[in-house]
Structure 1
Amino acid sequence: MTLPLVVGTDGSDAALKAVDWAADEAAVRGVPLRIVYASLWERYEGRAPSFTREPPEGQILAQHIASSAEERARLRQPGLEMTAEVLTEDTQYALLREGNHATALVVGHRGRGDMAGLLLGSVSLTLAGRAQCPVVVVRGDREEQGTKDEQGWIVLGVGPDENSAAAIEFAFHEAELRGCGVRAVHAWRMPPGEGAEWTGYEDEAVKAHHRRAEEHLDQALRAAATARPGVRYRRYAGEGHARKVLLATLDDADLLVVGARRRNNPFGLQLGPVNHAMLHHAPCPVAVVPQPT
């Protein structure tokens, strides 16, 4: 059974951009698109007896949001198999459940109910931190972002541990589908005080750390590069804070892919500071790929 690509919508501008991105992505992957609008309108309007045959206003609005998103997606990708459904439940819970049976979840970076000053909506942040499938938060204003040929680069953030394997596979698979390249980025830092005791030693220490960072990238990428030899890739080992190093490589990126470890504890932060920074500030869509435990 082919799992669908699921996109959440609420009719906002950010959600409509997510629908566009998801339609293109589903077409490239050759999977069905499922459009979901989840709302608790019944909680506020209730099911009070009506003396007319007209459905409640909230239901009319919900159906309009879902059908409009479907029409938009069909115009963008006419031959794509797709469905649209209204779910009368909490948005976060509905989309988290949808993610259990999805190729990936796609959402806009901010929804209709979020404050205008927020860089990232609460639903997007919750899904990125808790969903069991990859979550793509569509960010950025570039008109040509998406999944068409001759795009820029997929930037892949490679961490220092083993939590990047699923993200690496996702990035190389995505690049193979799009016919574009992968730029793998790993940030490293000099230990405090190292190289400061001897004059002239600092340059050698920097070169040694940089070399180890490149070796880490080579080892991390080897399996994916071998499995998909047609995907071109470059590696970049940059000194500095990971969030700053990553952001500096995104000017021509069409997608940023980062890995995430799912924590068993339901409380507290579910994403690290680097992923938080990317979700708030990246100029392109961000794919958060959970590492199976």
Structure 2
Amino acid sequence: MMERPLVVGVDGSDAALGAVDWAADAAVRYGIRLRIVYASRWERYEVHLLEGRTEPSSERVREETIVGVAAERASRRVPGLEVTTQLAPDDPVEALLTEGLRAKAVVVGHRGRGRLTSLLLGSVGLGVAARAHCPVIVVRGRTENIRGGECKVVLGVGERAADTAAVTFALEEASLRDCTVEAVHAWRCPGTAVPEQCGAHGEYHGEYRAEHERRTQELLDEVMNKPVAAFPQVTVERRAVEGAPGAALVAASHTADLVVVGAHRRHGHAGLQLGLVTHTVLHHARCPVAVVPET
């Protein structure tokens, strides 16, 4: 059986070319081929609109140029890398979701070429990250973080002790990058409490903090211990943070090469399936973000 490729979506934007660079480097780490995909519904209509014409349309030429430039860029960046291309006659989100069914992961840039490029995260990246059944990496953040100079993978740990896919993904990434994993779990006072009730400057707050930190360490041990045993070469740091989980992960992303978060897919649900924490990280992280669906 052929090894599943790493898929990267392109649209001719600078963000997409940055995603190609990241994906080419990742494909080498994984030891797999890179598949570059451009999707457009234009080809569905081209057959009917251009019947009898032998020369390709300007739109077709543009599409082929986009994937050709991306493929050449990847090959120059990583000589010897196996690169394939695909022009898909479909909506970009749907095309990448389909590709993701037989891919190790899907990589996208954080912004596209459309009129909404001012958005923190483009609609394609958001749609794929919210619905894919394979890991999705959104390449965003500062140049130094994207290049992988921090030597750290941050893992967001939620309340579910059974969330192991994201843990394993983070450990694999750290192993391939020869870097550490920082497992972060955030806690805070109940939403109904006001700061005075939490004893912000009193003994009660100290007891409250100690209890939450104890529970967090128990949760982190429960989530991490078994997967970590399979990666003895990876150093894992467990950290309890007081505050909102999304804000904690965004803060941690400043000194990370990758932030990994889990995603829960509801069977038969076709809408966006992103929690508040994942949504916050995708829009504001200072480094690439991997959204890993839990099976």
- The answer, yes or no, to whether TM exceeds 0.5 is yes
Q: CA deviation at 1:157?
A: 0.3
- Higher mean C-alpha deviation, range 155-164 or range 1-10: 155-164
Q: CA deviation at 1:223?
A: 1.2
Q: CA deviation at 1:215?
A: 1.7
Match of 2:285 in 1: 282
CA distance in 2 between partners of 1:159 and 1:280 (Å): 19
Match of 1:94 in 2: 95
* 1:165 equivalent in alignment to 2:156: no
Taking the TM superposition and a 5 Å limit, the aligned residue runs for 1:112-123 are: 112-123=113-124
Match of 2:255 in 1: 252
Match of 2:274 in 1: 271
* 1:291 equivalent in alignment to 2:283: no
Give the partner amino acid of 1:235.
Answer: R
Q: Secondary structure at the match of 2:220?
A: helix
Q: Secondary structure at the match of 2:107?
A: strand
1:104-145 Cα deviation digits (max 9, x unpaired): 000001111251321111111111111010000000131462
Taking the TM superposition and a 5 Å limit, the aligned residue runs for 1:38-57 are: 38-43=39-44, 45=46, 47-49=48-50, 53-57=54-58
CA distance in 2 between partners of 1:254 and 1:59 (Å): 36
CA distance in 2 between partners of 1:9 and 1:49 (Å): 25
Q: CA deviation at 1:233?
A: 1.4
Q: CA deviation at 1:195?
A: 5.9
* 1:213 equivalent in alignment to 2:216: yes
Match of 1:66 in 2: 67
- Higher mean C-alpha deviation, range 53-62 or range 10-19: 53-62
1:143-163 Cα deviation digits (max 9, x unpaired): 46246xx64210000001146
Q: Give the TM-score of the pair, scaled to structure 1.
A: 0.92
Q: CA deviation at 1:267?
A: 5.2
* 1:262 equivalent in alignment to 2:265: yes
Give the partner amino acid of 1:170.
Answer: F
Pair 25,114 (structure 1): closer, same or farther in 2 beyond 3 Å = farther
Provide the aligned length of Structure 1 versus Structure 2: 290
Q: Give the TM-score of the pair, scaled to structure 2.
A: 0.92
CA distance in 1 between partners of 2:54 and 2:47 (Å): 16
Give % identity: 51
Whether the 8 Å CA contact 1:190–1:209 is kept in 2: the answer is no
Q: Secondary structure at the match of 1:20?
A: helix
CA distance in 1 between partners of 2:93 and 2:71 (Å): 21
Give the partner amino acid of 1:76.
Answer: R
Q: CA deviation at 1:284?
A: 0.6
Match of 1:182 in 2: 181
Gaps of 5+ in 2: none
Q: CA deviation at 1:286?
A: 0.4
Match of 2:28 in 1: 27
Q: Secondary structure at the match of 1:253?
A: coil
Match of 1:222 in 2: 225
CA distance in 2 between partners of 1:33 and 1:130 (Å): 21
CA distance in 2 between partners of 1:7 and 1:184 (Å): 27
- Higher mean C-alpha deviation, range 241-250 or range 259-268: 259-268
Whether the 8 Å CA contact 2:152–2:256 is kept in 1: the answer is yes
Q: CA deviation at 1:235?
A: 1.1
Match of 1:156 in 2: 155
Give the partner amino acid of 2:102.
Answer: H
* 1:75 equivalent in alignment to 2:76: yes
Pair 49,21 (structure 1): closer, same or farther in 2 beyond 3 Å = closer
Q: Secondary structure at the match of 1:145?
A: helix
Give the partner amino acid of 1:79.
Answer: G
Pair 215,137 (structure 1): closer, same or farther in 2 beyond 3 Å = same
Match of 1:18 in 2: 19
Q: CA deviation at 1:209?
A: 1.2
Pair 52,127 (structure 1): closer, same or farther in 2 beyond 3 Å = closer
Whether the 8 Å CA contact 2:4–2:103 is kept in 1: the answer is yes
Q: Secondary structure at the match of 2:252?
A: coil
